[in-house]
Amino acid sequence: MIALIRHGRTEGNLLKKYIGVTDEDLYDARGLERDYPPVDIVVTSSMKRCVRTVEIIYPDAEKIVIGDLREYDFGRFEGKTFEEAVSDAEYKKWLDSGGNESFPGGENHEDFKRRSVSAFRAAAEKYKDFDIAFVVHGGTIMAVMQSLFGGGFYDYMVENGGGYIIEGNTFRKIT
């Protein structure tokens, strides 16, 4: 069993900002009161918001930190809201692409997906004999789920504290 869990809420999430490489801590623990599965190992991004989420959800679990599970770099739009960015022509270009173009000065969208999925697959293979929780970012979850189950990248968007449980070739949302 593999659980993919999005970190808890940050101030940037609360304000609906693009927060990728900004290393924000949690704002509060709301959204983390769910029925998370018991696991043997927790794999997490190195970002504060993920590490702190692990400490809340799985305080006694063995924790493995993998930097390549970090969120997408939003470049020039890092820390901005939709309202702050919408008048920018390059932002409009990104919107028109369905969110599949790279942000100016940020990470290439396809490179981000390759990085995230590669890090996930390596850890999942290494710990395949264990029940694992990956406490990561929304973008990381979307990239991994799309690679495993097809569909669109944004089909797998989850709220803070939400995620998916994968068993074999099936998945269900964490409630």
Average pLDDT of every residue of the chain = 94
pTM here? Answer: 0.94
Task: Answer whether residue 174 shows pLDDT above 80.
Answer: yes
Domain, as residue range, for 103: 2-173
pLDDT digits (tens, 9 = 90+) for 122-171: 999 999 999 999 999 999 999 999 999 999 999 999 999 999 999 999 99
What confidence tier does 6 reach under pLDDT thresholds 50, 70, 90?
very high
Number of domain units in the chain: 1
Q: What is the CATH number of the domain that holds 47?
A: 3.40.50.1240
Q: Please write down the HEC assignment for all residues of the chain.
A: CEEEEECCCCHHHHCCECCCCCCCCCCCCCCCCCCCCCCCEEEECCCHHHHHHHHHHCCCCEEEECHHHCCCCCHHHCCCEHHHHCCCHHHHHHHHCCCCCCCCCCCCHHHHHHHHHHHHHHHHHHCCCCCEEEEECHHHHHHHHHHHHCCCHHHHCCCCCCEEEEECCEEEECC
